[in-house]
Structure 1
Amino acid sequence: MKIQDLIQNRSRENFSLHDKYLNSQMVKVLKTIDFDRHYVRAQGAYLFDDQDNRYLDLLSGFGVFALGRNHPKIIEALESTLKADLPNLVQLDVSLLSGLLAEKLVKLTPDGLNRVFFANSGTETVEAAIKFSRYATGKSKVIFCHGCYHGLSLGSLSATGDDHYKKGFGPLVPDFIEIPFNDLEALEQALAQEDVAAFITEPIQGHGVWIPDDDYLPEAAALARKYGVVFIVDEIQTGLGRTGKWWAVEHWSVEPDIVCISKTLSGGFVPVGALVCKEWIFDRVFNRMDRAVVHGSTFGKNNLAMAAGLATLEVLESENLIEHAAYTGTAIMDALTPLTEQYECLKEVRGKGMMIALEFAEPTKSLSLKLSWKMLEAANKGLFSQLITVPLFRRHQILSQVAGRGMNIVKFIPPLILTESDVQWIVSAVNDVVASAHRGPAAVWDFGKVLATRALRAKLHA
């Protein structure tokens, strides 16, 4: 079977196939907001549709494509691995490539982390972190933060601070306790019960791009040590250069007990996750020969994933992408921040590196803008942000996302490889769509017509 022939012969069937066999609701969403394009190729930070239109991808697969799409060095590594006829997943064996990737990760992660567990995804690394913490401490409770996102499998879902994802999937795993993010007093009160195995947090919350106070993470780590609690940091999205440093915790000089890694490590090709932890945790879990396989992942150490991970780390270093992410992200934010003085709905531009949020809020001066805001919020909470993302895509061919359910926050998590012309593309487009959104009822009316027309079309073709 030739995949290229198959793709060519059935290239325009993707929406009908998904509507029939996969998630039909996602098809309806894409058609309603006019995001239903037929992408035919991708290169670096760009997507191309069947009309050869070029799109700038500021979503990057929810942060997977930090190196851009189809990076030649990752392809070369995967091709050479496939051609090597290596033994793969022997299971009653230990593979070389997984050992080499583990060695590299230990050198790059914060001091004191020297054991590695490989899985297939970020949510699997969170599951492993929960299990390891419970076994290593002999305690059961896990503290997590409101608004956080750690995954959708049952354990990671139990540690996710958004009830939207949990509704109807209960009962969840017991002994998970939610506290506010960036609240040291609440954290200490929870930890003081002395029955807590772990505290898990994102250094920067992905849903909303919420950045903690400067003392929060260092003090949280100190509190975890004080009460004998494992401090788990979820760097699945923030890690590997996303925030302008190898790890987001480096912004605050924090040394966690466990770091969860995924997304970027894949190079954009092969699913992979890695948990890196302190030796004492690992040694308590795998403490006897009969416990050597007490926790594992069948495909976790497969050769293609390990090769992709090794190549990804090499590219990040050799192309200076982490320094580039810090510089370029700052350039974008510096160019957009003055808009907060010009447009009253734009409350804040914030972020670190290539993790950027534009937060919008109800205007306080213009009556027409207040009316527009209330109309949109009455229809659907967080809908104003679609006045930004939809025209960014339709008029400027920039793919972006709302930062979380019900939020008026637009989030950019682009590839780390953006050029100066890409930065100008973003700045010019944001200027245009933010200005248009401030036209008041006229903007809402135009937006409503687009959504209504597309929704009707989607329904007719259902």
Structure 2
Amino acid sequence: MAQLPTDTVPTTDRPPFDIGSLLADREIDRYSLHTQHMNEQMVRVLQTIGYDVGFRSGHGQYLFDRKGDRYLDLLSGWGVFGIGRNHPTVRDALKSVLGSDLPNLVQMDVSVLAGILAERLLTYAPYLDKVFFANSGAESVEAAIKFARASTGRDEIAYASQSYHGLTYGALSLTADKMFRTGFGTLMPGSIEVPFNDLAALDRALASKKVAAFIVEPIQGKGVYMPSDEYLRGVQEICRKHGTLFVADEIQTGLGRTGKFFAIEHWGVEPDMILIAKALSGGHVPIGAVLMRRKIFEKVFNRMDRAVVHGSTFAKGDLAMAAGLATLEVIEAEDLVGNAARMGARLMTSFNAMAERYELVKNIRGKGLMIGVEFGTPRSLKLKAAWSLLEAVNTGLFCQLITIPIFKEHKVLVQVAGAGNHVIKLIPPLCINDTDCDWIERSFDAVIADAHKVPGAVWTLGRTLADHAIKARASA
């Protein structure tokens, strides 16, 4: 073999690439990198509310900051870490794939791991027959829109008020929150908003026979809004009556979050499609999936020349499929669905007791480990005046007066359920235990009790946040 000219021989002087060293060397630049090259506003938010502690590691339900302090995570990455962070079973599965030299994403072949994962997922919804894999929850929503339109020959898609289905074009078109929609122009034609929990309104909307699908979260994530006991059964009946597909968005509620594998099991319904993502990833490799009836699937993939009519380049990747299989194994082996039901029932009891003791606590709702703590206008004059002052500046600002001291003083990471919302949402990893529940209950009780003292530290913080909000508004 001819040798390369000496001036083109690769140099060996470059040190080996090491992510650990790179992280250690650039940790000091954590916020400046994002300010300069990415989302500066997110950095400003973290610094304003005191969340800029620089998390360095995570294990299970716990996070550790740059000083080594331990925090209890009640956000779980917006529901991604259902089985907790860095679970050894998932990590070992991913290492096994990386060490096996598998012929990943050949495209002109089919994946064994994808077939096994599809088979496993369908055991949780035996009335469905086929699985389409995607890379995220939003991509799963986009796929559902296409499948619904193709299988029904209809263009319109109905969605519920207060909904959240994602931020890509089609998914955003089915997301009701104006904060996410504003500024992005005209969204998908044929998207129809229907009041949540209103069966009569849904019946009227579908009566035109133009609606391909109605997509709904069994429990709405942005405010933990609960359906009435008859709502989802009514949705199923009305959809079947008008030939509209019933699509359950279980992207956040699925895989045990509510104390059942799928939230729809609480109401005994069998939708035409179920959308999942988030926790199926094991927290490592993004994945989404649409479980559906055969007749829907085969309307899209109905001939050999249409075998690739819809897909996604990285869907069915071996790492994602392995992560999904390992996640299901952990959920079953550790009885995380049962644990979510048990720990959730305990927390609901405790929070309901707080609602009886504290006038600022208006309502507690949820199932399993998806819990909303709603605050509302107090009765006593001093509290009512302080509350009204904050609300005049920024709707929902009061909830930050609870989340910030819970984080800073009690090391519990939690946030509000959405902009302009009076609900704090708890979606912790499903592996939390009784000791963690003690921690949660103690922290909330202390901070809520302090919020009933006017003047007090909480309301001093409120004035500071109000000043920030006024300045930001003036700047804008």
| Shorter-chain TM band | over 0.9
How far does the alpha carbon of each residue in 1:338-393 deviate from its partner, in whole angstroms, 9 at most, with x for none? Answer: 111111110111110000010001012x0001001101101110001111111110
* One-letter amino acid matched to 2:241: K
Post-superposition shift, 1:48? 0.4
Q: Which residue of 2 aligns with 1:434?
A: 448
For 2:91 and 2:164, the matched residues in 1 are separated by 31
Post-superposition shift, 1:444? 5.0
Contact 1:142 1:199 in 2 (8 A): yes
Q: Which residue of 1 aligns with 2:103?
A: 87
Q: Which residue of 2 aligns with 1:394?
A: 408
For 1:303 and 1:358, the matched residues in 2 are separated by 39
For 1:448 and 1:424, the matched residues in 2 are separated by 27
For 1:437 and 1:309, the matched residues in 2 are separated by 42
- 1:102 corresponds to which of 106, 118, 137: 118
Post-superposition shift, 1:405? 1.1
1:142 aligns with 2:171: no
How far does the alpha carbon of each residue in 1:299-344 deviate from its partner, in whole angstroms, 9 at most, with x for none? Answer: 0110000000000001100110100110001111111211111111
- 2:63 corresponds to which of 36, 47, 51: 47
Relative to structure 1, is the Cα distance of residues 128 and 376 closer, same or farther in structure 2, using a 3 angstrom cutoff? same
5 Å-filtered alignment, 1:300-449, equals 300-364=315-379, 366-448=380-462
Q: Which residue of 2 aligns with 1:261?
A: 276
Post-superposition shift, 1:404? 1.2
5 Å-filtered alignment, 1:223-302, equals 223-302=238-317
* One-letter amino acid matched to 1:33: I
Relative to structure 1, is the Cα distance of residues 329 and 97 closer, same or farther in structure 2, using a 3 angstrom cutoff? same
Post-superposition shift, 1:449? 5.7
5 Å-filtered alignment, 1:178-217, equals 178-217=193-232
Q: Which residue of 2 aligns with 1:30?
A: 46
1:20 aligns with 2:36: yes
Q: Secondary structure at the match of 1:11?
A: helix
Contact 1:369 1:441 in 2 (8 A): no
Post-superposition shift, 1:442? 2.9
Q: Secondary structure at the match of 2:424?
A: strand
What TM-score do the two structures reach when normalised by structure 2?
0.94
Q: Secondary structure at the match of 2:373?
A: strand
For 2:112 and 2:455, the matched residues in 1 are separated by 62
How far does the alpha carbon of each residue in 1:174-210 deviate from its partner, in whole angstroms, 9 at most, with x for none? Answer: 0001011010000000011111100000000001001
How far does the alpha carbon of each residue in 1:12-54 deviate from its partner, in whole angstroms, 9 at most, with x for none? Answer: 2111101111100000000000001111111111110111110
How far does the alpha carbon of each residue in 1:142-182 deviate from its partner, in whole angstroms, 9 at most, with x for none? Answer: 11011100000000000111111111112111000101101
Relative to structure 1, is the Cα distance of residues 449 and 360 closer, same or farther in structure 2, using a 3 angstrom cutoff? closer
* One-letter amino acid matched to 2:151: A
Relative to structure 1, is the Cα distance of residues 388 and 444 closer, same or farther in structure 2, using a 3 angstrom cutoff? closer
Relative to structure 1, is the Cα distance of residues 318 and 444 closer, same or farther in structure 2, using a 3 angstrom cutoff? closer
For 1:70 and 1:211, the matched residues in 2 are separated by 31
Q: Secondary structure at the match of 1:129?
A: helix
Contact 1:142 1:197 in 2 (8 A): yes
Which has the higher mean CA deviation after the structures are superposed, 76-85 or 434-443? 434-443
* One-letter amino acid matched to 1:24: E
Contact 2:359 2:378 in 1 (8 A): yes
Relative to structure 1, is the Cα distance of residues 51 and 452 closer, same or farther in structure 2, using a 3 angstrom cutoff? farther
What TM-score do the two structures reach when normalised by structure 1?
0.97
- 2:184 corresponds to which of 169, 174, 188: 169
1:68 aligns with 2:78: no
For 2:346 and 2:291, the matched residues in 1 are separated by 32
Contact 2:145 2:170 in 1 (8 A): yes
* One-letter amino acid matched to 2:393: A
Relative to structure 1, is the Cα distance of residues 394 and 449 closer, same or farther in structure 2, using a 3 angstrom cutoff? farther
For 2:439 and 2:29, the matched residues in 1 are separated by 31
For 2:326 and 2:431, the matched residues in 1 are separated by 16
Gapped regions of structure 1 (runs ≥ 5): none
For 1:444 and 1:427, the matched residues in 2 are separated by 18
* One-letter amino acid matched to 2:132: F
Relative to structure 1, is the Cα distance of residues 182 and 449 closer, same or farther in structure 2, using a 3 angstrom cutoff? closer
Contact 1:32 1:455 in 2 (8 A): no
Q: Secondary structure at the match of 2:456?
A: helix
Post-superposition shift, 1:455? 9.1
For 1:181 and 1:89, the matched residues in 2 are separated by 41
How far does the alpha carbon of each residue in 1:414-449 deviate from its partner, in whole angstroms, 9 at most, with x for none? Answer: 000111110000000000011111113434542136
Contact 2:164 2:177 in 1 (8 A): yes
Q: Secondary structure at the match of 1:12?
A: helix
For 1:421 and 1:450, the matched residues in 2 are separated by 34
Larger radius of gyration: 2
Contact 1:345 1:361 in 2 (8 A): yes
How far does the alpha carbon of each residue in 1:113-163 deviate from its partner, in whole angstroms, 9 at most, with x for none? Answer: 110010100000000001100010000111101110000000000011111
Q: Secondary structure at the match of 1:259?
A: strand
Contact 2:393 2:466 in 1 (8 A): no
Q: Secondary structure at the match of 2:27?
A: coil
For 1:324 and 1:237, the matched residues in 2 are separated by 17
Contact 2:162 2:222 in 1 (8 A): yes
State how many pairs are aligned. Answer: 456
Contact 1:267 1:308 in 2 (8 A): yes
For 1:85 and 1:455, the matched residues in 2 are separated by 53
For 2:65 and 2:450, the matched residues in 1 are separated by 26
